[in-house]
Amino acid sequence: MSYVIDPSPVASLPIEGESSRFPVRRIYCIGRNYADHAREMGHDPNREPPFFFLKPADTILEAGRDFPYPPGTTDVHHEIEMVVALKSGGRDIAEADALSHVYGYGIGLDMTRRDLQGEAKKLGRPWDVAKGFDHSAPCTALVPAVRIGHPTKGRVWLNVNGETRQQGDLSDLIWSIPEMIAYVSRLFELKGGDIIMTGTPAGVGAVRRGDVMEGGVEGVGTIKVKVV
Ligand code: MN
C-alpha cells in the first residue's frame, strides 16, 4: 500500500506496566449518565434513553502532557469519566457477553467547550465543535481487566487546584457498562480499539490556564493534567 501523502500515526494509549500500546479506533461518549449531572444540566434523568456522541481518536491527549486551552471558547469544562477499552467488538452484543469484549479501564477527561455546546443545543446543531476539538480527550494509561476486574463501584472525583469539584460513585451510573456496550453495538459495529467514555458525575465547571485538574476512579487510577 502506498499513500499520496503520509498517513497520520495511529492514536494509541499506553498500558500500565507494559511496553505495548493500545491502538485507539473510535471514542464513544455517553451523555448524562449520572442522575445528579443530568439534573445539573437541566434534564430529567428518569425519562431518557441513553445517547452517545463521538470524539475523533486523535483527540486523545496522553496523561502527563499539558492540556492546551482550545481556541473559540471562553468556557472550557472538565468532565471526569471512567474509560472502557474494548479488545474485540461485534454487532448486537448481548449484555451478558459485553464484559468479555473489555480489555481494560482507564481515566479520561471529556473536555467540553460548554459555550459552543450551549449554542449548538439552542440551535439544534451537532456537538462536534463542542466535544471533538484537538486534545479534548486527556486519558491515562489503561489497566487490563485481568488485573483489576470489572469495576462497578468506587469513588469518582475531580479536584481543580486541590479543591473538590466533581464527586460521584461508579455505582450511580444510570446505564451500566454492559448496557452501554450492548446499546452502542446495536447502532454501530464495535471493534477492538474502540473506547467508551462512561459519563461524568455532577460538578462540571470551567478551567483556566494554569489550573491543575487531578481526579480519579477508586480502584482504577488517577489522572493529573495542567491547563496551559
Ligand atoms: Mn462527558
Task: Report how far residue 114's alpha carbon sits from residue 208's, in angstroms, rounded to the nearest whole number.
Answer: 13
Residue 166's nearest CA partner among 53, 37, 76, 29 is 37
Alpha helical stretches, state H, 60-192: 95-98, 114-123, 128-131, 145-148, 177-187
In the reported structure, the alpha carbon of residue 151 is separated from the centroid of ligand 1 by a whole-number distance in angstroms of 19
What is the chain's mean pLDDT, rounded?
96
In the reported structure, the alpha carbon of residue 80 is separated from the centroid of ligand 1 by a whole-number distance in angstroms of 7
In the reported structure, the alpha carbon of residue 2 is separated from the centroid of ligand 1 by a whole-number distance in angstroms of 38
| 3-class DSSP state of 103 | strand
pLDDT score of 175: 95
In the reported structure, the alpha carbon of residue 130 is separated from the centroid of ligand 1 by a whole-number distance in angstroms of 11
62-75 pLDDT, tens digit each: 988 999 999 999 99
Q: What is the CATH number of domain 12-226?
A: 3.90.850.10
Task: Report how far residue 170's alpha carbon sits from residue 147's, in angstroms, rounded to the nearest whole number.
Answer: 18
Phi, psi of 101, rounded to the nearest 5 degrees: -95, -5
In the reported structure, the alpha carbon of residue 199 is separated from the centroid of ligand 1 by a whole-number distance in angstroms of 5
170-207 pLDDT, tens digit each: 999 999 999 999 999 999 999 999 999 999 999 999 99
Q: Where are the domains of the chain?
A: 12-226
pLDDT score of 36: 87
Task: Report how far residue 33's alpha carbon sits from residue 29's, in angstroms, rounded to the nearest whole number.
Answer: 10
pLDDT score of 206: 98
Read off the C-alpha cell for 202.
455532577
Q: How far is CA 12 from the centre of its chain?
A: 14
In the reported structure, the alpha carbon of residue 8 is separated from the centroid of ligand 1 by a whole-number distance in angstroms of 26
Task: Report how far residue 136's alpha carbon sits from residue 132's, in angstroms, rounded to the nearest whole number.
Answer: 6
Read off the C-alpha cell for 43.
434534564
pTM: 0.96
In the reported structure, the alpha carbon of residue 92 is separated from the centroid of ligand 1 by a whole-number distance in angstroms of 24
123-173 pLDDT, tens digit each: 999 999 999 999 999 999 999 999 999 999 999 999 999 999 999 999 999
Beta bridge partners of 127: none
pLDDT score of 41: 85
In the reported structure, the alpha carbon of residue 97 is separated from the centroid of ligand 1 by a whole-number distance in angstroms of 25
